[in-house]
Amino acid sequence: MSDFIVAIGLVFVIEGLMFSAFPAMAKRAMHSVLNTPDYSLRVVGIVSAVVGIVLIWAIRG
């Protein structure tokens, strides 16, 4: 459970760094997401989840 909380914390750190370092780019990305079809967002979400699982599996063995 502590690994999960650390992972969530890392997500917040990475997002926070992106918003603070590149605020204009973050706004453009959000605008782009609003204009992207739901199907594309679902595909990107599923692919990201699978890549994350594969990475965790590869590192944790």
pTM assigned to the model: 0.71
- Cα(57)–Cα(35) distance, rounded to whole angstroms? 33
| pLDDT tens, per residue, the chain with 61 residues | 888 899 999 999 999 999 999 999 999 999 999 999 999 999 999 999 999 999 989 988 8
- Cα(57)–Cα(8) distance, rounded to whole angstroms? 18
